[in-house]
């Protein structure tokens, strides 16, 4: 009986500590690297911790520099840098990796600022350990799709595949 109780306590504690069960969500299509409109998203007030991205624009952080800034709804977009990484940028099989994000500025510098983050593979999705950015307006980018234009629709409500909704 004591063994069963201890086993259940172990599972409960493990579940509570597993970043895959975070309740902090990012659901903002404006963070898409395809978004060139500067809506001034600012992550300098972001609470440090694990986040799951659930936006229809995509959950992956871009791995290519958004040259000249002004992407992802902000002035200085942070993207996932591949410098000094061998192999995949994203982890697999439930593992956690340490990675560096770069902030691209509007003068063409792809890595004006850096912030170290962590990424965990949760099977069907990833979670990110994010820290506040420095200064405004700077924010993390996620995804590469945009909502369908007015009058068009798709199975996800996002590109690609937007078609005339009146058919």
Q: What is the spatial distance between Cα 25 and Cα 50, in angstroms, rounded to a whole number?
A: 9
Q: Please tell me the predicted confidence (pLDDT) of residue 6.
A: 31
Q: How many CA atoms lie within 13 A of 125 on its CB side?
A: 18
Whole-angstrom CA distances from 23 to 11, 17, 45, 52 are 18, 12, 18, 8
Each residue's pLDDT tens digit, 115-142: 999 999 999 999 999 999 988 899 999 9
Q: Write down the pLDDT at residue 39.
A: 75
Whether pLDDT at 150 is above 70: yes
**Mean pLDDT across the chain:** 88
* The model's pTM: 0.86
């Amino acid at each position: 009986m004591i063994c069963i109780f201890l086993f259940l306590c172990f599972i409960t504690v493990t579940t509570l500590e597993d970043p895959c069960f975070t309740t902090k969500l990012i659901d903002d299509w404006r963070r898409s690297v395809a978004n060139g409109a500067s809506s001034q998203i600012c992550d300098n007030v972001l609470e440090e911790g694990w986040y799951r991205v659930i936006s229809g624009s995509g959950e992956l952080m871009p791995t290519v520099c958004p040259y000249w800034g002004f992407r992802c709804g902000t002035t200085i977009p942070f993207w996932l840098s591949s410098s000094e990484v061998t192999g995949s940028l994203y982890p697999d099989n439930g593992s956690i990796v340490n990675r560096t994000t770069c902030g691209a500025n509007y003068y063409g510098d792809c890595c004006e600022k850096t912030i170290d983050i962590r990424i965990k593979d949760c099977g069907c999705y990833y979670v990110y350990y994010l820290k506040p950015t420095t200064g405004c307006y700077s924010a993390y980018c996620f995804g590469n799709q945009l909502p369908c234009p007015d009058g068009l629709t798709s199975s996800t409500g996002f590109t690609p595949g937007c078609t005339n909704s009146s058919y």
